[in-house]
Amino acid sequence: MVDTSVSFMSSLCMGIIEEQVLIPYPAMAAEQKETLHGVIDSVKQLLGPRAEDFRKWDRAGEMPAAFVEELKQFGLFGLVIPEEFGGMGFKSASYARTLQEIAKYDASVAVTVGAHSSIGMRGLLLFGTPEQKQRYLPKLATGEMIAAFALTEAGAGSDAAALKTRAERDGDGWVLTGNKLWITNGGIADFFTVFARTGELEGKPHITAFIVTRDMPGVSVGTHEDKMGLRASSTTTVHFDGVRVPAENVLGEENKGFKVAMAILNNGRTGLGGGAIGAMKKLIEHSTKYANERKTFGKSIREYGMIKLKVGQMVVDCYATEAAVEMVAALIDGGYEDYAVEAAISKVFASEALWHTADEALQIAGGNGYMCEYPYERMIRDARINRIFEGTNEILRLFIALTAMNDVGSQLKELSSSMRGLFDDPIKGFGVLRQYALKHASLVTGIPRARSRFTLVSPELHEATTVFEELTRHLAAAVDRILRKHGRNIIGKQLASRRLANIMIDLFVLACVISRVNASLAALGAEKAAKEVDILKVFSGQVERRVKHAFGLIDINDDELIKGLADHAFDAEKFSWDNV
């Protein structure tokens, strides 16, 4: 039996390669594939002919209500809702694949469906009581109710704990007052998962999640925001003015709203990842067609090395992103308890790979890329948000690195009790990492050798697995070294954390790519899997160079200098040198 309490990345930071978590690469059952074929086909027929509309709605900054109605009729709001409540019952893998398809046609549609399924109603799915589910899921499945996730406020984005919306007890219910900002689906939602302050303890706020519906007196929404991208999707403020919420609408445990919020974001991650993959695949289609047709200097630009480099990298990045997202989906669907770091990694990697792909795709199209008549400028505008919402990539990098260091630290028996629970509140938790590093004995030496090697991977991939094993030993040593070097001050050493996070991101994604290529090799044989083996060669080479470079910077770097330059600029609030 698989041990679902294992966290691949947490073990990796201690030098242990828990290969059975990632190998074999997740495969879909025949029936699931058949369903997805049907879904892909239908989505194509629904959205394929609307390209001109999507362009128009991006310009207009809104999609018509009649089209949202079509999406409902089509069943797009029931993807992750169990069949018994009238939904499709998709788990993360099928859900991510479906969002991938939608995102090939339009990012605004993908995010409308995604905000509903990934975050809007996911709290109900994960924490709802049977009564709450019975009451809302059937309506959410048909789209009669559309869901939104309302956490952010003007003063509380990354620092979600600073939220000011309050819920006061009132008899057997609650009264909610406060304002939420930039809520996706705000203008079309009937069901809100709302986070509000319900007290505090030792200066730390207690937060509780509530189900609030649009028909409750005192709920109102602002106008549609004028945005850079995702322009046709609804983003609004949401206001709660003395809204009476019955006690039975508390979602999850009272005062455990943070846990609810984090669980929702973690569990819904593959939606964003899937969307990014869809956009990347579309961009690769556009770029390859364009490069095949465009001629300069008497040759098609596909002939040029610098264009090949861009497209080759797009292919590698897309393959790697898909491997990571599918793997995270499999961890979630496989019942793993602890996949938050892996999920965060997939979000950071996917959003950055998409950004890079969109930028290069535009570049390949030259001046045309810059023209609104072509798809690139819209896709780049739509892509940009992914690095900001559902946790900014900066915050997620801190989360990835600090969770690892926390896990490594808490392995030491004498400290494990004091560490437990600190990261239930990951964002605020950064402030409370204890002084353990100095007592920290070297972890690297005590690890049984066998568990620092891949044994389930084909010898044909020996080169990549050797690289991975070597980098893993470095990683364990690096965590150790960073903890020793900075101790409790690690919280303030963001550039050290960032470096570690980047290493972890690269290693997790590389492990996923190894697993994926290994599976293809087994299924297709060396000849037919040759290009995938090449993808692995390229990617593992890139990871090796990046990671070794980052290791080198742990001890010797310009961190303090560059931060000094920033401080100088902050103080002046301008660039300080002028030659005239």
Partner 1 sequence: MKILVALKRVADPANHNKVKIPAAGDKIDTAGLEWQINPFDLYALETALRLTEDGKAPKTRLGEVVAVTLGPAETETNLRSALATGADRAIRVDTTDDALDGRLVAAALQKLVEEEKPDLVLMGKQVVDGENNYVGQALAELLDWPMATFAATIKEEAGGLLVGREVDGGVSTLRVKFPAVVTVDLRIVAPDSVRSSKTAEGFKYPYEEVRFAPLPAIMQAKKKPLAVKKLADLVGGATLSSKYVKFEAPPARKAGVKVKDVQELVQKLATEAKAI
Ligand X SMILES: Cc1cc2nc3c(=O)[nH]c(=O)nc-3n(C[C@H](O)[C@H](O)[C@H](O)COP(=O)(O)OP(=O)(O)OC[C@H]3O[C@@H](n4cnc5c(N)ncnc54)[C@H](O)[C@@H]3O)c2cc1C
The catalytic residue positions are 390
Distances (CA, A) of 553 to 84, 87, 395, 405: 54, 50, 21, 18
46 binds partner 1 (CB under 8 A): yes
227 binds, among partner 1, ligand X, none (CB under 5 to 8 A by kind): ligand X
* Pairwise CA distance, residues 452 & 472, whole Å: 8
Considering only residues 41, 241, 293, 424, which one is a binding residue for partner 1 as defined by CB under 8 A?
A: 41
In the shown chain, the binding pattern of residues 130 to 159 toward ligand X, with x for contact by CB under 6 A and - for none, equals: ------------------xxxxx----xx-
Phi and psi at residue 501, to the nearest 5°: -60, -45
266 binds, among ligand X, partner 1, none (CB under 5 to 8 A by kind): none
Q: Which is nearer to partner 1, 79 or 504 (CB)?
A: 79
188 binds partner 1 (CB under 8 A): no
Bridge-based pairing of strands 299-300 and 219-221 is unpaired
Residue whose tokens read 């003015």: 241
* Pairwise CA distance, residues 145 & 77, whole Å: 9
78 binds partner 1 (CB under 8 A): yes
394 binds, among ligand X, partner 1, none (CB under 5 to 8 A by kind): ligand X
Range in contact with ligand X (rule: CB under 6 A) among 204-212, 279-287, 393-401, 566-574: 393-401
Range in contact with partner 1 (rule: CB under 8 A) among 35-43, 149-157, 478-486, 561-569: 35-43
Using alpha carbons, select from 69, 173, 157 the residue that is nearest to residue 112. Answer: 69
DSSP state at residue 156: B
366 binds, among partner 1, ligand X, none (CB under 5 to 8 A by kind): ligand X
42 binds partner 1 (CB under 8 A): yes
Near partner 1 in 233-272, by CB under 8 A = none
Angle between helices 305-333 and 340-364 (to 10 degrees): 160
Considering only residues 32, 255, 288, 363, which one is a binding residue for ligand X as defined by CB under 6 A?
A: 363
Distances (CA, A) of 3 to 19, 213, 243, 470, 511: 12, 40, 45, 25, 19
Number of residues that bind ligand X (CB under 6 A): 35
Q: What is the DSSP string of 543-580?
A: HHHHHHHHHHHHHS--HHHHHHHHHHHHHHTS------
Q: Which is nearer to ligand X, 39 or 79 (CB)?
A: 79
* Pairwise CA distance, residues 529 & 7, whole Å: 29
Beta-bridge partner residues of 98 = none
* Pairwise CA distance, residues 399 & 214, whole Å: 34
88 binds partner 1 (CB under 8 A): yes
Considering only residues 9, 96, 109, 307, which one is a binding residue for ligand X as defined by CB under 6 A?
A: 307
Range in contact with ligand X (rule: CB under 6 A) among 95-103, 384-392, 474-482, 560-568: 384-392
Range in contact with partner 1 (rule: CB under 8 A) among 41-49, 334-342, 550-558, 567-575: 41-49
Distances (CA, A) of 18 to 169, 172, 511: 47, 49, 10
Q: How far is the CB of 506 from partner 1 (least distance, A)?
A: 33
Considering only residues 200, 247, 370, 531, which one is a binding residue for ligand X as defined by CB under 6 A?
A: 370
* Pairwise CA distance, residues 314 & 223, whole Å: 37
Asked whether 452 and 474 are in contact (CB, 8 A), the reply is: no
306 binds, among ligand X, partner 1, none (CB under 5 to 8 A by kind): ligand X
Number of H helices, E strands in the chain: 21, 10
443 binds, among ligand X, partner 1, none (CB under 5 to 8 A by kind): none
Using alpha carbons, select from 390, 481, 486, 491 the residue that is nearest to residue 443. Answer: 481
Using alpha carbons, select from 141, 71, 82, 173 the residue that is nearest to residue 112. Answer: 71
Asked whether 77 and 143 are in contact (CB, 8 A), the reply is: yes
* Pairwise CA distance, residues 145 & 139, whole Å: 5
Q: Which is nearer to ligand X, 294 or 548 (CB)?
A: 294
Q: How far is the CB of 14 from partner 1 (least distance, A)?
A: 44
Considering only residues 367, 421, 446, 459, which one is a binding residue for ligand X as defined by CB under 6 A?
A: 367
83 binds, among ligand X, partner 1, none (CB under 5 to 8 A by kind): partner 1
Number of residue whose CB is nearest ligand X: 157
223 binds ligand X (CB under 6 A): no
84 binds partner 1 (CB under 8 A): no
Q: What is the DSSP string of 76-129?
A: GGGTTS-GGGTS----HHHHHHHHHHHHHH-HHHHHHHHIIIIIITHHHHHH--
52 binds partner 1 (CB under 8 A): no
In the shown chain, the binding pattern of residues 96 to 135 toward ligand X, with x for contact by CB under 6 A and - for none, equals: -------------------x--------------------
Render the burial of 525-539: b for 16+ CB within 10 Å, e for the rest: eeeebeebbebbbbb
234 binds ligand X (CB under 6 A): no
Beta-bridge partner residues of 179 = 239
Considering only residues 61, 82, 89, 222, which one is a binding residue for partner 1 as defined by CB under 8 A?
A: 89
Q: Which is nearer to ligand X, 115 or 354 (CB)?
A: 115
Bridge-based pairing of strands 147-150 and 191-201 is parallel
35 binds partner 1 (CB under 8 A): yes
Contact positions vs ligand X (CB under 6 A): 115, 148-152, 157-158, 182-184, 227, 230, 235, 294, 296-297, 301, 304, 306-307, 363-364, 366-368, 370, 385, 388-389, 392, 394-395, 398, 494
Contact positions vs partner 1 (CB under 8 A): 31, 34-35, 37-39, 41-42, 45-46, 73-76, 78-79, 83, 86, 88-89
